[in-house]
Structure 1
């Protein structure tokens, strides 16, 4: 586990974004943990979150030219990541995001910000069904640009309807890697190192039941 991943978990727990207990997910599964990225809702927390995204992206070594944030959750995330790349890594890259509905006046269209060109990173909170990525990939391709990778906060490493996770499905469908600040494997390691063995055991059991192959 990288140092920034350990700091990320400390930050997420301290912010109340990552919680432990019993949580019924949309899938109907009873999860021993819950990650709600919407609770990164202050200037200071968003600034720090952008730093984790930027660190994961730079460490991946994936070549990219710009960032894209799908509406709505991806909008503050893509801005925070772009700021962190410029301030912490010396890379001033353009970014854009989309509207849910096309604007029929002024500049018009659905894309706000820089034109979609080159190799584009989609920045989002998590991947659930993969539909958001599919929509973003369509916009990027229609503009003549190329999807480079998808960058998310947490990979639950959990099966969807089949044997593969939603992340694996995205990689298979679009032929690009998915980069996560951290995944379930690192979370278990963090909890064990932090002596929170009860939560670690519960999550290990959950992964044994629902983890992706």
Structure 2
């Protein structure tokens, strides 16, 4: 596993982003664990997470014209990524994000920022069943002069979609795009095994993964 992936796992563990209990996810599924990304709540947190997203874009050599963030959690991640690309890699790119509700006054519209055109990289925090991602794709696809080149998330839970395929593969197949992640759940499992830590929590992750998902 690459060192920057290990650093990201250490980051989320130190911030206690990964928590355990009984949770109902946005996909309406039950889960014994949850990634509480809202705990990235300081300037330093956003600076770090933006660097991780930017580093992933650069490492994977992902080409794009516009970064697009999904409201609401995807917006601060989007802005921090745009700033990290400029400040750390001298890559200056425009951004756009969607509104939860379409604005009916002023300039109106359902997006904020740069015009959605060219190759689009969609930014979000977690992929589970891909519900929020699918909604954002529908917004982008309304623009005939744009195409999604990649979807970048922090963590892929590697869960099943609505078919026998994983949510990731299901979206890639339907929308003809690629989904990338900084890490996935198997990276976390491997990290905990190698460090020989959080043995109780590790068991929960493994059992949930083996029983329910791909």
TM normalised by structure 1 equals: 0.91
Query: Which residue number in structure 2 is paired with residue 117 of structure 1?
Result: 117
- 1:156–1:183 CA contact under 8 A, matched in 2: yes
Cα distance in 2 for partners of 1:148, 1:43 equals 29
- 1:191–1:199 CA contact under 8 A, matched in 2: no
Task: State how 1:18-57 maps to structure 2 within 5 Å.
Answer: 18-19=18-19, 21-26=20-25, 27-31=28-32, 33-57=33-57
Task: State how 1:187-202 maps to structure 2 within 5 Å.
Answer: 187-196=188-197, 197-202=199-204
Cα distance in 2 for partners of 1:45, 1:85 equals 16
Task: State how 1:127-166 maps to structure 2 within 5 Å.
Answer: 127-143=127-143, 144-166=145-167
- 2:192–2:202 CA contact under 8 A, matched in 1: yes
Query: Which residue number in structure 1 is paired with residue 66 of structure 2?
Result: 66
Q: Kindly report structure 1 stretches of 4+ aligned residues shifted beyond 6 Å.
A: none
How big is the shift at 1:161?
4.3
Task: Output one character per residue of 1:128-175: Cα deviation in whole Å (capped at 9) or x when no partner.
Answer: 332322222222222221111111111111224432222221111111
Aligned length: 210
Give ranges in structure 2 of 5+ residues lacking alignment: none
Give 2:210's match in structure 1, choosing from 203, 208, 211. Answer: 208
- 2:129–2:159 CA contact under 8 A, matched in 1: no
How big is the shift at 1:81?
0.9
Give ranges in structure 1 of 5+ residues lacking alignment: none
How big is the shift at 1:206?
2.0
How big is the shift at 1:54?
1.1
- 1:155–1:183 CA contact under 8 A, matched in 2: yes
Task: Output one character per residue of 1:30-89: Cα deviation in whole Å (capped at 9) or x when no partner.
Answer: 42x321111111111111111111111222222111100121111111111111111112
Cα distance in 2 for partners of 1:25, 1:102 equals 28
- 1:57–1:179 CA contact under 8 A, matched in 2: no
Q: Which sits farther off after the overlay, 53-62 or 178-187?
A: 53-62
Query: Which residue number in structure 1 is paired with residue 181 of structure 2?
Result: 180
How big is the shift at 1:210?
1.6
